[in-house]
Amino acid sequence: IKLHYFAYRSRGHPIKLLLKNAKVPYEDVLLEFPDWMKGKKAEYEFGVLPVLEMEGKQFSQTRAILRLLGRKYGYYPKDELQAYEVDCLMDAFDDWLHTVAYKYFIDRIFQGKTKEEVEPNFPLVIDTINKIIQNIEGRLTNSGSKYLVGNSLTIGDFMFHTFAGSFTSLNTIFNEDWNCDNFDKAPKTKALYERLTEEFQGILEEIGLKDAIIQYQIKQTVLKILMKQ
Amino acid sequence: KDMSIKLHYFPLRGRGHPIRLLLKHAKVAYEEVIVVFPDWFKVKWEYEFGVLPVLEMEGKQFSQMRAILRLLGKRHGYYPADEMEAYEVDCLMDAMDDWLMSVAMKYVVPKQFLKKPKEEWEKSLPAINDSINKMLTNLEGRMTKSGSKYLVGDKITIADFVFLTYAGSYTSLNPVFNADWNFDNFKDFPKLKEFYDR
């Protein structure tokens, strides 16, 4: 089994969390952006990553893959309403990822736009995030469940942990840009995130986060040092 | 408590339409709640995630088109029981949605809604064309290989409802924006064309 993705968290991460949790051995095939733009893209079924190579075939689309593996290894609810809950939340997380990526991350980090240029998008980004967090908090309060949906780990938890992780690290690093509370008004959500972090600790160390955010931060630090010289 | 089914969406095809197609095909009675654009920002945050479509059913809100389609699909026989076929349906719906999003965000929104100058969205067109081509080639390949009348398996699935919607939007966009891009409606994709016409 080979997982083809870039060297950062985002859409590949939930799949890694699942495979490691299920103790299924796999290999990372890491791609770099320059290669991707130069033609690697065309080698993949839909021209997008992540792609899971398994049984000699290519499997695309994060959530479709998660659902397939989830059914196989017991991380996807059999009950149709619980399955709906998981599906709905995963789509919401992906919407959030899309919003932050297209209205902030890509502009600010890859295209080097200034804070003033991206600022008009902040209300929408922050409102969207807050709404999702409120929604999760509401669900957790109503259900009293131990995990995101139900009382055992699902693919929803893998995606939630990825989303929450990206969000908290973005928040810390770009606190100068925006001022968003880290789950401060969502105690149950925060507790879930912390509990999952503890549960996944060994796995997270094994995966090793080569976060683009961390890389950016390092790059900025280096640039600042160079500019001072 | 009102237990009737209501579909909340804009007066467009977009992400509401596949749900409409399913409900009509399954002969399930429902009511349309049309949200017009001038009202959207007033009501947006009344919805669970601030997005549409939302299906009101059994006194609750259900969000996210594909999650809704999967639930209704399971209940009314439009979602495969076989896990590999289910994967195919999921994968195709996600891929088609990616395509819809890129056409919407890189072309329709800048051109129609934000009225941005041609230079701003023009450079996205080759990439959009490529991804449409790639998508259609993929779908054509699957249908040729399986010999099936439907996108996945031998009967209608939620993937077919999504495809019909997007192909419909796309073919109506095409003549209107033919000046901008040059793409023949399924000229190279006979099986898809036959499927769509049917």
CB contact (8 A) between residue B64 and residue A80: no
How far apart (Å, rounded) are the C-alpha atoms in residues A20 and A148?
Answer: 19
Amino acid at B41: F
Which of A90-94, A149-153, B48-52, B122-126 comes out lowest in average pLDDT?
B122-126
Calculate ∠ Cα A75-A80-A95, nearest 5°.
70
Given a contact cutoff of 8 angstroms between Cβ atoms, the answer to whether B103 and B128 are in contact is: yes
Which of A51-65, A112-126, A151-165, A179-193 comes out lowest in average pLDDT?
A112-126
Instruction: Tell me which of A4 and A98 has the higher pLDDT.
Output: A4
End-to-end CA distance of chain B: 40
How far apart (Å, rounded) are the C-alpha atoms in residues A28 and A207?
Answer: 10
Report the residue of chain B nearest A83, measured CA to CA: B71
pTM equals 0.84
Task: Write down the ipTM of this complex.
Answer: 0.81
**Position of tokens 């479509």?**
B53
Question: Could you tell me the pLDDT band of residue A63, with boundaries at 50, 70 and 90?
Answer: very high
Distance of residue B197 Cα from the nearest chain A Cα, in angstroms: 25
Interface test with B, best of A46, A93, A98, A143 (most B CBs within 10 A): A46
CB contact (8 A) between residue A46 and residue B84: no
Cα-Cα-Cα-Cα dihedral of A79, A55, B77, B7, to 10°?
A: 70
Is the pLDDT at B184 greater than 70? The verdict is no
How far apart (Å, rounded) are the C-alpha atoms in residues A226 and B15?
Answer: 49
Is the pLDDT at A79 greater than 50? The verdict is yes
DSSP letter assigned to residue B153: T
Q: Residues, chain A, total?
A: 229
Q: Where does residue B127 fall: left (phi above 0), alpha (psi -120 to 50 degrees), or beta otherwise? A: alpha
What pLDDT is attached to residue A176? 56
What pLDDT is attached to residue A223? 55
Average pLDDT of A182-198?
88
Joined together, the tokens standing for residue A157 give 């938890």
Q: Where does residue B150 fall: left (phi above 0), alpha (psi -120 to 50 degrees), or beta otherwise? A: beta
What pLDDT is attached to residue A157? 96
Residues of A in CB contact (< 8 Å) with B are 45-48, 59-65, 67-68, 71-72, 80-81, 83-84, 87-88, 90-92, 95, 98, 102, 127-128, 131-132, 135
% of residues, chain A, pLDDT over 70:
77
- pLDDT one-digit tens code per residue, B153-171: 888 899 988 888 877 776 6
Using only C-alpha atoms, chain B has a radius of gyration, in whole angstroms, of 18
> B-chain residues within 8 Å CB-CB of A71?
83, 86
Helix (H, G, I), strand (E, B) or coil at B61: strand
How far apart (Å, rounded) are the C-alpha atoms in residues A73 and A52?
Answer: 16
- pLDDT one-digit tens code per residue, B86-101: 999 999 999 888 877 7
Distance of residue B34 Cα from the nearest chain A Cα, in angstroms: 22
Strand blocks (E) in chain A: 2-6, 27-31, 51-54, 57-60
Pick the closest to residue B179 from B127, B102, B118, B135 (CA basis).
B118
Is the pLDDT at B176 greater than 60? The verdict is no
Averaged confidence pLDDT in chain A: 82
Average pLDDT of B69-74?
96
Is the pLDDT at A170 greater than 70? The verdict is no
Q: Which residues contact A97 (CB under 8 A, 6 or more apart)?
A: A10, A11, A163, A166
Given a contact cutoff of 8 angstroms between Cβ atoms, the answer to whether A107 and A117 are in contact is: yes
Is the pLDDT at B181 greater than 60? The verdict is no
What pLDDT is attached to residue B189? 47
Question: Could you tell me the pLDDT band of residue B128, with boundaries at 50, 70 and 90?
Answer: confident
Most confident among A73-77, A210-214, B150-154 (mean pLDDT): A73-77
Question: Could you tell me the pLDDT band of residue A203, with boundaries at 50, 70 and 90?
Answer: confident
If you write DSSP's letter for every residue of A135-179 in order, what string do you get? HHHHHHHHH--SSSSSSS--HHHHHHHHHHHHHHHHHHHTTTT--
> A-chain residues within 8 Å CB-CB of B50?
127-128, 131
Question: Could you tell me the pLDDT band of residue A149, with boundaries at 50, 70 and 90?
Answer: very high
Averaged confidence pLDDT in chain B: 79
Report the residue of chain B nearest A79, measured CA to CA: B71
Amino acid at B19: I
Is the pLDDT at A206 greater than 90? The verdict is no
Given a contact cutoff of 8 angstroms between Cβ atoms, the answer to whether A213 and A221 are in contact is: no
Amino acid at A126: I
Pick the closest to residue B14 from B161, B198, B190 (CA basis).
B161
CB contact (8 A) between residue B94 and residue A47: no
Is the pLDDT at A134 greater than 60? The verdict is yes
How far apart (Å, rounded) are the C-alpha atoms in residues B58 and B53?
Answer: 16
> B-chain residues within 8 Å CB-CB of A102?
105
Is the pLDDT at A210 greater than 80? The verdict is no
Instruction: Tell me which of B122 and B181 has the higher pLDDT.
Output: B122
How do beta strands B54-57 and B60-63 pair?
antiparallel
The CB density around residue B122, as the number of other CB atoms within 10 Å, is 15
Instruction: Tell me which of A102 and A84 has the higher pLDDT.
Output: A84
CA dist list (Å): A166 to A100, A193, A206, B34: 10, 12, 18, 35
Joined together, the tokens standing for residue A94 give 């992906």
Is the pLDDT at A68 greater than 80? The verdict is yes
B55 membership: H or E segment, kind and range:
strand B54-57
Question: Could you tell me the pLDDT band of residue B127, with boundaries at 50, 70 and 90?
Answer: confident
% of residues, chain A, pLDDT over 90:
44
Average pLDDT of B124-138?
74
